[in-house]
C-alpha cells in the first residue's frame, strides 16, 4: 500500500513522532493507522527504557484551578533539558497532567509508589470478598489480582485513563512525549486541593 504524505502528517499529529519514524511505522504496518500508532508507542516505550537512568532535573511546576475555584492541583513534571521544558508541547503536557490530578484525585504517581502493606491489605479485602461470594478457592487469587489492577487504574496517576481520551493512559502521554523529545520525562510530585478539606 502506498504511504501518502497526508497519512504521515495525520500519524505525526496523533503521536508527535518524527516524520521518518511515522513513515517507517506506516510501511511496517501496511498503512494501518491504529497499528502504526501501536508500533510507535512500543518503539517509544523501548527508547524510554534506554533512557531510564538519565537524570531529569529540569521541567515545570504547573497549576490548574477548576472553574469556580473549588478544586485545584499542582504538579511537577521533569525532563532532561531546559530547552524541552520551554516547548509548548511540554507545557501542554504538564497542564494536562495537572488537569487530570484535579479531575481524578490520584493517591500515587505509579504502581511502584503503593506500599507493600497497602497492596497486601487490599488483596486481603478482595480475597475475603471473593470467598464471601462463595467463589472457588482456585479463582480467589485471580479475582483479587484483577481487582488490584483496577485499584492501580483508579489511584495511580500514571495508570489512570486520560480524561480526554479513554484509549490512553497518563503513562502513554509521557511515553509519547519521550518519543517526541528524545528525553526522559517523569512526574515528580503532585498535590490536589479541594476547598474546605483538611490538609
- The CATH number of whichever domain residue 177 belongs to comes to 3.30.479.20
Domain identity same for 120 and 28? no
Domain identity same for 167 and 187? yes
Please give the pLDDT value at position 9. Answer: 81
Q: Structural domain tally of the chain? A: 3
In this structure, the number of other CB atoms found within 10 A of the CB of residue 167 comes to 9
Q: pLDDT, tens digit, for every residue of 133-168?
A: 988 888 999 999 999 999 999 999 999 999 999 999
Domain identity same for 147 and 164? no
Domain identity same for 96 and 166? yes
Query: Is 106 within the bounds of a domain?
Result: yes
Domain identity same for 73 and 103? yes
Q: What is the CATH number of the domain that holds 14?
A: 1.10.8.10
Domain identity same for 105 and 65? yes
In this structure, the number of other CB atoms found within 10 A of the CB of residue 40 comes to 28
Domain limits at 148?
115-154
Please give the pLDDT value at position 189. Answer: 95
Domain identity same for 150 and 160? no
Query: Is 105 within the bounds of a domain?
Result: yes
Domain identity same for 99 and 119? no
Domain identity same for 98 and 122? no
Domain identity same for 106 and 123? no
Domain identity same for 62 and 106? yes
Query: Is 199 within the bounds of a domain?
Result: no
Please give the pLDDT value at position 59. Answer: 92
Q: What is the CATH number of the domain that holds 146?
A: 1.10.286.20
Query: Is 174 within the bounds of a domain?
Result: yes
The C-alpha cell at 141 is 487469587
Which residue ranges in the chain fall short of pLDDT 70? 1, 15-16, 44-56, 199
Q: Which of 32, 50, 68 is the last residue of a domain?
A: 50
Domain identity same for 31 and 62? no
Amino acid at each position: 500500500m502506498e504511504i501518502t504524505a497526508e497519512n504521515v502528517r495525520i500519524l505525526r499529529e496523533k503521536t508527535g513522532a518524527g516524520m521518518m519514524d511515522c513513515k517507517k511505522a506506516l510501511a511496517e504496518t501496511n498503512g494501518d493507522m491504529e497499528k502504526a500508532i501501536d508500533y510507535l508507542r512500543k518503539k517509544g516505550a523501548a527508547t524510554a527504557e534506554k533512557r531510564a537512568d538519565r537524570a531529569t532535573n529540569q521541567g515545570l511546576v504547573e497549576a490548574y484551578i477548576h472553574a469556580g475555584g473549588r478544586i485545584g492541583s499542582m504538579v511537577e513534571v521533569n525532563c532532561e533539558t531546559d530547552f524541552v521544558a520551554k516547548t509548548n508541547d511540554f507545557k501542554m503536557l504538564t497542564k494536562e497532567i495537572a488537569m487530570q490530578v484535579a479531575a481524578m484525585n490520584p493517591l500515587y504517581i505509579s504502581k511502584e509508589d503503593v506500599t507493600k502493606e497497602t497492596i497486601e491489605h487490599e488483596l486481603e479485602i478482595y480475597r475475603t470478598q471473593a470467598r464471601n461470594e462463595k467463589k472457588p478457592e482456585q479463582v480467589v487469587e485471580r479475582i483479587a489480582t484483577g481487582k488490584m489492577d483496577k485499584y492501580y487504574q483508579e489511584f495511580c496517576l500514571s495508570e489512570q485513563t486520560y480524561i480526554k481520551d479513554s484509549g490512553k493512559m497518563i503513562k502513554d502521554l509521557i511515553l509519547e512525549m519521550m518519543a517526541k523529545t528524545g528525553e526522559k520525562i517523569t512526574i515528580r510530585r503532585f498535590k490536589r486541593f479541594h476547598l474546605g478539606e483538611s490538609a
